[in-house]
């Protein structure tokens, strides 16, 4: 039976490579090389590149720090702001490259793989679900407009974030993030 740690190594390498080079730009050999594993060993752990990409997408999702949204030691609106600041800082630190794997797969892969399409939809749903919980709390506290539907608003914020990454990557500028924060926190939610 293969060692679990080698699977972990391959998965982390897959996430990094898919994130940096996209699904179509990533080969199994590159993933194996980056993990210091022989190419043939890949199939001891994953049945296909698609399956590996879906696992990598889940690992990427786990690093989105949705736990920040559920940390009730700070007010819900503050948590939402910090969550997006965390995501912004990650992109700025990467010099506006890579973006979000959900958006990358949604624009580059979903038309051609039903399995990946479904995994991207689940990832977006999990994310907007966590945001909706915090927005429901914020509405209860009177911190956001009472007429906002938390579920729709959460999906709207996720989508707006994904599009903000598109502008930030195309312009290599944080101006897109500044607009996101001012429009979301001073217009949409107020």
Residues in contact with its own copies by the rule CB under 8 A: 20, 22, 24-25, 97-99, 102-104, 106-108, 110-111, 117, 120-121, 124, 145, 148, 152-153, 155-156, 158-167, 169-172, 176, 179-180, 182-183, 187-188
The set of long-range contacts for 65-73, using a CB threshold of 8 Å and a minimum separation of 24, is 66/126, 66/127, 66/130, 69/130, 69/131, 69/133, 69/134, 70/130, 70/133, 70/134
How far is Cα 168 from Cα 174, in angstroms, rounded to an integer?
6
CB closer to its own copies out of 48 and 173? 173
The backbone region for 100, taken as left when phi is positive above 0, alpha when psi lies in -120 to 50, beta otherwise, is: beta
CB closer to its own copies out of 37 and 116? 116
CA distances to 6, 77, 140, 180, 186 from 137, in Å: 42, 9, 5, 21, 18
Q: How far is the CB of 1 from its own copies (least distance, A)?
A: 35
Q: How far is the CB of 5 from its own copies (least distance, A)?
A: 30
CB closer to its own copies out of 37 and 100? 100
CB closer to its own copies out of 11 and 176? 176
Q: How far is the CB of 38 from its own copies (least distance, A)?
A: 26
Q: How far is the CB of 99 from its own copies (least distance, A)?
A: 6
How far is Cα 98 from Cα 19, in angstroms, rounded to an integer?
6
Q: How far is the CB of 58 from its own copies (least distance, A)?
A: 15
CB closer to its own copies out of 1 and 187? 187
Q: How far is the CB of 178 from its own copies (least distance, A)?
A: 8
Burial of 47 (0-12, 13-18, 19+ CB in 10 A): exposed
CB closer to its own copies out of 37 and 99? 99
Q: Which residues are within 8 A (CB) of 1 and not within 5 positions of it... i.e. 6 or more apart? A: none
């Amino acid at each position: 039976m293969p060692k679990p740690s080698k699977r972990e190594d391959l998965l982390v390498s897959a996430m990094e490579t898919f994130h940096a080079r996209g699904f179509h730009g990533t080969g199994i050999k590159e993933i194996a090389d980056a993990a210091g594993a022989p190419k043939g060993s890949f199939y001891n752990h994953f049945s296909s590149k698609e399956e590996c990409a879906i696992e990598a997408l889940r690992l990427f999702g786990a690093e989105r720090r949705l736990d920040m949204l559920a940390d009730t030691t700070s007010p819900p609106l503050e948590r939402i702001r910090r969550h997006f600041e965390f995501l912004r800082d990650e992109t700025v630190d990467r010099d506006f490259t890579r973006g979000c794997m959900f958006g990358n797969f949604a624009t580059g892969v979903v038309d051609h793989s039903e399995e990946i399409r479904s995994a991207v939809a689940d990832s977006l749903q999990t994310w907007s679900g966590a945001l909706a919980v915090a927005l429901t709390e914020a509405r209860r506290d009177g911190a956001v407009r009472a007429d906002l539907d938390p579920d729709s608003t959460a999906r709207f914020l996720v989508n707006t974030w994904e599009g903000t990454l598109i502008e930030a990557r195309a312009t290599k500028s944080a101006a897109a993030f500044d607009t996101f924060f001012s429009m979301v926190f001073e217009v949409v939610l107020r």
